Amino acid sequence: MIDFSIFEKKTNIIFNDKKLLEQAFIHRSYINENTGSHLSHNERLEFLGDAVLELIITDYLYNKYPDRDEGELTAYRSSLVNAVIVGEVALSLGMNEYLLLSKGEAKDVGKARSYILANTYEAYVGAVYLDRGYEIARDFIAKTLFGKIDTIVAKKLWRDPKSLVQEKSQEYLNVTPSYSVLSEAGPDHDKHFTIGIFFGKDLIAEGKGKSKQEAEQAAAHKALETKDWLD
């Protein structure tokens, strides 16, 4: 069993059930490669943690921005819990050092690792919720994620990239963007898509994601950066 004592000190959350903590860091690929390990992967914890995270973030935004409507608050929440930001937070916490992955997944340190880390953060939140309760889970999310929202709102990063890039491309270039799948990889339960955004026949940018929609949003955001349309 992995020694999580340093990680527990860093987060100031000491688990009663160490096996539950370990499970939060076990990727499905590790189980597939180590069938006799009698361990469980983290996807059930991720499922639970995703719901806990959404409730805590929603409650925080509802109270922080009493004058904003539900549409804007939904956009804020989506921007705050997207895989890139959550993955960066997980990396800063040192979660990458504790991941149990297959040999193949362990070699990939690019976008795919960022998504794995984001999912691990959610699984960890689920484990904290089960082991230490709602308040401790909320405090952890408050310390690690709440502070990101001020930048998101100030820089208007919450705006839907696909809608914005369509608005800007029609305004400045009189073209409507189109999207095309450039590649897809991974098993059905863990697909990764690369999608290109085109202005006419010109490929402007590429985006990656665990769904086509997520990859399209990433491509649209990259296009906005490329064209310097993020005001």
Which residues are the active-site residues? 50, 122
Gyration radius of the chain over CA positions: 19
The residue behind tokens 């930048």 is 151
Return phi, psi of residue 91, to 5°.
-65, -40
The tokens describing 186, both together, are 């991974």
| HSE of 119, CA atoms in CB hemisphere, 13 A | 22
CB 211 within 8 A of CB 192: no
